[in-house]
Amino acid sequence: LQDKIAAEADNPSITQDDKHVSLLVNAGLSANVEMEQFKQGDGVGLYRTEIPFMMRDRFPSEQEQCDLYKSLLSAHPSKEITMRTLDVGGDKPLSYFPISEENPFLGWRGIRLTLDHPDIFLVQIRAMLRASIGLSNLHILLPMISNIGEVIESKRLIKQAFLEVKEEAFQQGNMLSKPAVGVMLEVPAVIFQIPQLADHVDFFSVGTNDLTQYLLAVDRNNASVSSLYSSYHPSVLNALQKIFDDSIKCNIPVTVCGELAGEPAGALLLLAMGYRKLSMNAHSLRKINWVIRNTSISDTQELLQLLLHQESTEQVINLLEDYLEAKDLG
Ligand code: PEP
Ligand code: MG
């Protein structure tokens, strides 16, 4: 099987029924190395900017951040590069910015923290924008959005930084393109506000890791409840179908960037729901490319309808395993 997967690795991600799927990389520190492994990938769907922050013992300066972001944006000028603003808190601590809370996953994390510290947010946005001078591939992604006010406030700050950096660029005789701005759909509340969000953003990215955690009220890192944590729970699948349907109705492009997109069964289900942009860890790309090339989406749609109506996660997983085995995709 590994040989078959390797043999197809340089072929485009097109299903047997001729549907093109965009495969993107989830990256952290070594994004350029990760992109190298799958040259036909369509870009970076999620650059977790907190990882370089976590590797240091102090906040990186605007210039340090700018240099890092520029190396990524300029290495792939024709590919979209989606940089998520700092998503610390929860399971991602910063040693030099300690936070002590009883419920960190329900607490001060992601956009909540950076909007309370606009100094941190603005430095990062300015660094991203300065890095994108002369380029047009920067997409900015906001994590942990749970209400529209957070989007409005973030966009106000992004606009402020944009006007400053545009002026600086202009004085140097350079152009600054407006970045696309999108939000993570990972807090269940936003599933019911997609039309309202759509008025404010250019794209959505579904974080199935946190969406699963918050929909099921199961800590994604707690071994005592890990048997309850599954993105194949029928409620999670129905949520993902609703997100896709509502996003398309609102004409907003939507990517999936949680772990589910990098699992063969998960990718098949997402394709059946209608998703055509999947972002995943670099090591999953070849396998998922192979699964896509050996799948007909029309075949998976019947399966999806059956799965959406199952009672339990176990039933969903059993049916999926049977399907993958029958199609030789396991
Ligand atoms: C997610 O929540 O699914 C996601 C992609 O973000 P992270 O895993 O970094 O929280
Ligand atoms: Mg998340």
Tell me the pLDDT tens digit for each residue of 57-72.
999 999 999 999 999 9
Is the CB of 50 within 6 Å of ligand 1? no
Nearest CA-CA partner of 122 in 43, 59, 176: 59
Contact 288, 278 (CB under 8 A): yes
- pLDDT-derived band at 92, boundaries 50, 70, 90: confident
Q: What is the pLDDT of residue 317?
A: 97
Report which bound ligand comes closest to the CA of 143: 2
CA-to-CA separations, 19 to 22, 152, 245, in angstroms, rounded: 10, 35, 18
Is the CB of 210 within 6 Å of ligand 1? yes
Q: What is the pLDDT of residues 285-321, one digit of tens each?
A: 999 999 999 999 999 999 999 999 999 999 999 999 9
Is the CB of 160 within 6 Å of ligand 1? no
User: Ligand 2: distance of its center to the CA of 144 in Å?
Assistant: 7
- Mutation choice for ligand 1 from 29, 47, 48, CB with most ligand atoms inside 8 A: 48
Contact 261, 208 (CB under 8 A): yes
User: Ligand 2: distance of its center to the CA of 100 in Å?
Assistant: 20
- Mutation choice for ligand 1 from 257, 259, 270, CB with most ligand atoms inside 8 A: 257
Is the CB of 48 within 6 Å of ligand 1? yes
Contact 261, 205 (CB under 8 A): no
In percent, the amount of the chain with pLDDT more than 70 equals 96
Beta bridge partners of 32: none
Q: Quick one: tokens of 32?
A: 């350029």
C-alpha span between 235 and 188 (Å, rounded): 11
User: Would you give the end-to-end CA distance of the chain in angstroms?
Assistant: 10
C-alpha span between 268 and 251 (Å, rounded): 23
Nearest CA-CA partner of 217 in 109, 52, 103, 310: 103
> Closest Cα to atom 10, ligand 1: which residue?
210
- pLDDT-derived band at 29, boundaries 50, 70, 90: low
> Closest Cα to atom 6, ligand 1: which residue?
207
Is the CB of 287 within 6 Å of ligand 1? no
C-alpha span between 247 and 185 (Å, rounded): 11
Higher pLDDT, 1 or 86: 86
Q: Name every residue whose Cβ is closer than 8 Å to that of residue 76 and which is 6 or more positions away in sequence.
A: 35, 43, 44, 137
Is the CB of 246 within 6 Å of ligand 1? no
Report which bound ligand comes closest to the CA of 205: 1
Give yes or no for residue 33 having a pLDDT over 80: no
Q: What is the pLDDT of residue 236?
A: 98
Which ligand 1 atom lies nearest to the CA of residue 26? 5
Mean pLDDT for the chain overall: 94
C-alpha span between 72 and 77 (Å, rounded): 9
Q: Name every residue whose Cβ is closer than 8 Å to that of residue 198 and which is 6 or more positions away in sequence.
A: 247, 250, 251, 252
Q: What is the pLDDT of residue 303?
A: 95
DSSP-derived 3-state class of residue 272? helix
User: Burial level of 281, CB count in 10 A (0-12/13-18/19+)?
Assistant: middle
Q: Quick one: tokens of 154?
A: 């973030």
User: Ligand 1: distance of its center to the CA of 139 in Å?
Assistant: 17
> Residue 282: CA atoms inside 13 Å, Cβ hemisphere, count?
17
pTM of the model: 0.96
Q: What is the pLDDT of residues 231-287, one digit of tens each?
A: 999 999 999 999 999 999 999 999 999 999 999 999 999 999 999 999 999 889 999
User: Ligand 1: distance of its center to the CA of 27 in Å?
Assistant: 11
Contact 313, 234 (CB under 8 A): yes
Query: Lowest-pLDDT range, 30-44, 113-127, 266-280?
Result: 30-44
